[in-house]
Structure 1
Amino acid sequence: MADDRAARFSGVREVPDRLSIDAERLAGFLATVIPGFAGPLRVRQFKGGQSNPTYLVEAADRTLVLRRKPPGTLLASAHAVDREARVMSALSAAGFPTPHVFAYCEDPEVIGTPFFVMEHVAGRIIWDPAIPGATPAERGALYRDMGDTLADLHRIAPSTIGLTTFGRSEGYVHRQITRWSRQYGVSATIEIPEMDRLMAFLPSVDWPDHPPAVVHGDYRIDNLIFAADTAKVRAVLDWELATLGDPVADFAYHAMSFVMPRRNAATGTLEGLDLAALGIPPLEEYVARYEARTGLAVAGMLDLYLAYNLFRFAAIIQGIVGRVRDGTATSETPYTIDSVIPLAEAGWERARRAGA
């Protein structure tokens, strides 16, 4: 199914009328924020990206990427492109691999909704966590750099990059459970008993009070750009869910690819694969490397954090299903309610393993 995702989401397409951009107005704005910039522009939409429409903007002498808030009726706390621009700018200035942001614009007269413009980073996006076509040595190197990059993000003190006010520093997991329970309720299309059980159980957990870090919120292999010819992460993308929070929760979300239920066919998974033959480190080794690099304890509460993240991911996917229902989805989606149910079931199973 990851090959299907690559075919579905790789590349660009012509912009549908509902998401069209006035290229002349955009060129005029860009000329005011990028010295020497000149049109005309060719604007196409990236196929991937369900939440905030993302565009390839080509001028005569450069290529840029534009990410905007979608039009239409939206959930109040979603599609925060201003926060994306802020966190990316701060991290890029600190040397962390994110695209450089040229400008953020909230003037609706330019393209109709708030947006930001960033550099286009060349490289490869890997859609399948099993990394088909790579050698075992290449897979191992890619996983090491992917995990180390997330660990390095969590080692950055928010106060050192001007992000002290980027989010509340306490109660992150509890707030996330409340947020996604609420958004799941708004988006729900059928009753899923395991989601109800998780929403009842997860708030009762005494979550550790880890030092706050910048958390990405959706750190997956397909939200990274790797160098074309090495195992180096060149850019981390899709910062819409970033905030200050619990770094272990962020790592456990990333680690879901090791346990993602195979019945959730819309996403790639390592579940049931021979990791040793593939050259991919087992989850226990991956966790230990992150612990050594950050000094954080993960292993003892991993099942609880995985239960929380499977619930959270189920709620995110349900939100996409709800946008399809409401007519506000910004691109094609493979997700249906059949993608949500196995996530909820797997989350509840992890909660039971942890004592629920």
Structure 2
Amino acid sequence: GMNTVLRKRQVAKKGSSLAESIERDFQLLGALHQSGLPMGSPKLVCTDDSVIGAPFYLLDFVAGRNFRDPTLPGMDAKQRQAIYLAMAEAMAAVHAIDTASTRLPQNGDGSDYLRRQIAALLQQYAANRTEDIAAMDRLLDWLPANVPQAAKPSLMHGNFRLDNLIFHPSEPRVVALLDWDLASIGHPLADLAINCMPWRVTIPGMGSLQGVDFIDSGIPGEPDYIAAYCQAAGRDGIQHWNFFLAFALFRVAVMAQGIFKRGSDKTPPGQAPAPAIKAYGALVRSVANQAWNLVDGGDD
């Protein structure tokens, strides 16, 4: 019918076929739907390539509002605040899910997730590196050496951004969570730090909260947003927050370095890279410096 969404994958998850990946996506969504998280009910999975040329699954379409711009133009302060509080509560609900019910592979504790992620990011950076950035080199050493003590692992969305949420047509409440491609059993504070990136950096084409007046706009500043998450998650504060921010900033820098490298490789010899490509190069440096300043405690 008209109200069904078809999802297929271009790329398989590491170490599994496309069919297995789609099957796992479908199982995960089914488990999350049953756990009461806001999402369309998964209807059917098909791993037979001959039907549409790729494995796919179908799920119910959920109508509502999707916000691309984190500054939420056209709303009043009360509405904006309510949207942000609803986002914090939805993330806390994800982290409260029983991890065994997801059928995702459990990899020990939260520190295993962080160690594996950091190792993968180090490799990715090494493969795309184009120049020496002192702050990046320091982070490459500092991050693996300073992974916090194990925490209870939780379901981690992996890309929990405002534009991956569908809100009720008129109420400030999340009715669907989208884009579970990066879901894993991981660390809730890594998810929260990734979610907080708009307060910290401006990524081209993704919008940002930098320069927002948090009193006039109604959008909570980062400390108030984190407090709202902690309240919803039943946490009394956060330890090692700077580590998690540095991790999330490092992740942004590594992704930006990849985009910069691919763009530079496509630029004909003797020509300057396009301004959009150069912006990613500058982003690597500024984000790495910001991350290092957070963990170094210095002001250099």
User: Which TM-score tier does this pair reach, normalised by the shorter chain?
Assistant: 0.7 to 0.9
Tell me the CA shift for residue 205 of structure 1. Answer: 0.5
Tell me what 2:123 maps to: 182
Tell me what 2:137 maps to: 196
Question: Tell me, what secondary structure is at the counterpart of 1:235?
Answer: strand
Question: Tell me, what secondary structure is at the counterpart of 1:109?
Answer: coil
Which runs of 5 or more structure 1 residues have no equivalent in the other structure?
1-60, 328-333
Mean CA deviation greater in 100-109 or 270-279: 100-109
Deviations 1:219-272 (A, max 9, x none): 000111111211111111001110111111111111222212x3x333222123
Question: Is residue 84–residue 242 contact of structure 1 (8 Å, CA) maintained in 2?
Answer: no
Tell me what 2:183 maps to: 242
Change in 2 beyond 3 A, CA 1:239/1:117: same
Tell me what 2:294 maps to: 350
Question: Is residue 115–residue 147 contact of structure 2 (8 Å, CA) maintained in 1?
Answer: no
Matched, 1:136 2:77: yes
Tell me what 1:64 maps to: 4
Deviations 1:299-339 (A, max 9, x none): 44222111101112333444556677899xxxxxx774455
Counterpart selection for 1:293 from 224, 232, 247: 232
| Counterparts of 2:26 and 2:240, CA distance in 1 | 33
Question: Tell me, what secondary structure is at the counterpart of 1:278?
Answer: coil
Matched, 1:267 2:267: no
Which runs of 5 or more structure 2 residues have no equivalent in the other structure?
267-275
Change in 2 beyond 3 A, CA 1:320/1:299: same
| Counterparts of 1:318 and 1:239, CA distance in 2 | 24
Tell me the CA shift for residue 284 of structure 1. Answer: 1.4
Deviations 1:109-155 (A, max 9, x none): 23333332222221111111111111000001001111011011111
Tell me what 2:165 maps to: 224
Tell me the CA shift for residue 77 of structure 1. Answer: 6.2
Question: Is residue 81–residue 240 contact of structure 1 (8 Å, CA) maintained in 2?
Answer: no
Deviations 1:5-59 (A, max 9, x none): xxxxxxxxxxxxxxxxxxxxxxxxxxxxxxxxxxxxxxxxxxxxxxxxxxxxxxx
Aligned residues, how many? 283
Mean CA deviation greater in 101-110 or 270-279: 101-110
AA at the equivalent of 1:62: M
Tell me what 2:273 maps to: none
Question: Is residue 303–residue 354 contact of structure 1 (8 Å, CA) maintained in 2?
Answer: no
Question: Tell me, what secondary structure is at the counterpart of 2:295?
Answer: helix
Question: Tell me, what secondary structure is at the counterpart of 1:277?
Answer: coil
Question: Is residue 130–residue 261 contact of structure 2 (8 Å, CA) maintained in 1?
Answer: no
Tell me the CA shift for residue 340 of structure 1. Answer: 4.0
| Counterparts of 1:76 and 1:326, CA distance in 2 | 25
| Counterparts of 1:341 and 1:111, CA distance in 2 | 44
| Counterparts of 1:147 and 1:198, CA distance in 2 | 28
Tell me the CA shift for residue 199 of structure 1. Answer: 2.0
Change in 2 beyond 3 A, CA 1:289/1:351: same
| Counterparts of 1:345 and 1:81, CA distance in 2 | 39
Question: Tell me, what secondary structure is at the counterpart of 2:196?
Answer: helix
Matched, 1:212 2:156: no
After the TM superposition, list the runs of 4 or more consecutive aligned residues in structure 1 that deviate by more than 6 angstroms: 322-327
Tell me what 1:114 maps to: 55
| Counterparts of 2:264 and 2:25, CA distance in 1 | 26
Change in 2 beyond 3 A, CA 1:153/1:76: closer
Question: Tell me, what secondary structure is at the counterpart of 1:110?
Answer: coil
Query: Identity of counterpart residues, as a percentage?
Result: 32
Question: Tell me, what secondary structure is at the counterpart of 2:81?
Answer: helix
Change in 2 beyond 3 A, CA 1:113/1:124: same
AA at the equivalent of 1:293: A
Mean CA deviation greater in 215-224 or 116-125: 116-125
Question: Is residue 213–residue 244 contact of structure 1 (8 Å, CA) maintained in 2?
Answer: yes
Aligned pairs for 1:54-133 (under 5 A) are 61-70=1-10, 76=14, 80-133=21-74
Question: Tell me, what secondary structure is at the counterpart of 1:123?
Answer: coil
Question: Is residue 293–residue 299 contact of structure 2 (8 Å, CA) maintained in 1?
Answer: no
Cα-Cα RMSD: 3.0
Q: How high is the TM-score relative to the length of structure 2?
A: 0.82
